[in-house]
Amino acid sequence: LSLANIQELDDADVLAGYRSLFSLPPNTIYLDGNSLGAMPIGVTSRIKNTLEKEWSQDLILSWNTNNWIDLPLNVGEKIAPLIGASSGQVICTDTTSVNLFKLLATAMKLKPDRHEILSQIDNFPTDLYMAQGLAGMFPDNRLSVHTCTEDEISNTLSTDTLVLMLTHTNFRTGKIHDMKALTRLAHEKGALVIWDLSHSTGAMPIHLDACGVDMAVGCGYKYLNGGPGAPAFLYLTRSLQNKVSQPLSGWMGHEKPFDFNPLYDPGKGMRQYLCGTPSVLAMAGLDAALDIFATVDLQQIQSKSQQLGDLFISLVSQAHLDLNLISPTDGRLRGSQVSFTHPEGYSIMQALIAKGVIGDFREPDIMRFGFAPLYIRYADVEAAVTTMKNVIEEKAYFAPQYQMKNQVT
């Protein structure tokens, strides 16, 4: 592809206009929207209003007058169409990790005669850690965490599997699971499923209801652009609601928190998945960020993400950089990210960042590049590869300042 061809791709891009809704630094190509989404401009005025009007002037009255109290449900309703959920099944609250704990415990109560959480060995570690934490609370054999490789999932599912807990888009490789097929497989064994949608939500259409999914969680600060540490979300299919209560039974999940009754009575529907007081400032930011998705077609987002990724893969291959692709070449099997391995991956990424191309690094040798279709242009992909070619060919990454590991990679 010539530069003129790349310009044509940007000119024909139906999503091109969305870039102006984001605040991006100059001279920077941001290929890490899969880890921390860029800041939508609308978030500033919303948080300013929450600070300067709602908090400063309306004070505690805001819980009623500015409806802070329903923010978790209302933001959940805004996320619902992005994950193929009809109304009343999604709530915005806490973190993905904490929400996994609530759902795993719910699964345990729904299926008391089953003993095993099954997950993938290369799942995002917090998912495995939360399962281990829950299992550790019970005497041996009540609950165990079993991990297997992707290929082993179907043969490892058994009639003792309580829940199959998987991440839809693999955070290392970007490979997408077949949600419908795996959900069906788990159900055939009588197990429940929990899908972690952290690296999928906002990057592609998802069909939780249509796939018959039981439970799901996901992140607010990746492709949803809710800001650092934005609250996460939790989905529980309607037919499993109000059957059992989850153990993080804080007052905000009580049916009548302001009755101050000493006995816990779980709220109806999704409300009982609240624990304590919601983080209003952070949730207001996410709420504003989600407005961008009101007019956007997720199918278009997915097609552009596939094209951006395809272009990146083909330009890197033409550049002969000795990088090893670990993401699927077939865009339909790939989330909105492309990963390569290289023994000097960490220092190459540091050198790239110094030149204004921001991706990230995952142990032991993975360079990860995310392509958030709402604000990444085809020309950015081309420029990123040119910079990478220079960094690698000039061996700029051998400079000592690029070798030193930061706390966050």
Ligand X SMILES: *Cc1c(COP(=O)(O)O)cnc(C)c1O
Binding site for ligand X (CB under 6 A): 95-97, 124, 126-127, 167, 171, 196, 198-199, 219, 232
Q: Which residue's entry shows tokens 């860029």?
A: 38
Catalytic residues: 124, 196, 221-222, 368
Q: Please, are residues 270 and 76 in contact by the beta-carbon 8 Å criterion?
A: yes
Nearest to 324 by CA among 340, 338, 303, 339: 340
Q: Please, are residues 193 and 163 in contact by the beta-carbon 8 Å criterion?
A: yes
Nearest to 30 by CA among 222, 311, 306: 222
3-state helix, strand, coil in the chain (%, to 5): 45, 15, 40
Other beta carbons within 10 angstroms of residue 269's beta carbon come to 15
75: part of which helix (H) or strand (E)?
Answer: helix 71-79
Alpha-carbon dihedral angle through residues 326, 330, 332, 336, given to the nearest 10 degrees: 40
**Backbone φ/ψ region at 269: left (φ over 0), alpha (ψ -120 to 50), beta:** left
CB nearer to ligand X: pick between 72 and 391: 72
Q: Which residue's entry shows tokens 């990746």?
A: 222
Min separation Cβ 124 and ligand X, Å: 3
Looking at residue 250, the DSSP 8-state letter turns out to be -
Other beta carbons within 10 angstroms of residue 311's beta carbon come to 20
**Backbone φ/ψ region at 242: left (φ over 0), alpha (ψ -120 to 50), beta:** left
Peptide bond into 139 cis (omega under 30): no
State the pairing for strand pair 357-358/232-236. unpaired
CB nearer to ligand X: pick between 124 and 375: 124
Token pair belonging to 297 = 């077609």
Min separation Cβ 45 and ligand X, Å: 25
CB nearer to ligand X: pick between 232 and 372: 232
State the pairing for strand pair 39-40/22-23. antiparallel
Q: Please, are residues 202 and 180 in contact by the beta-carbon 8 Å criterion?
A: no
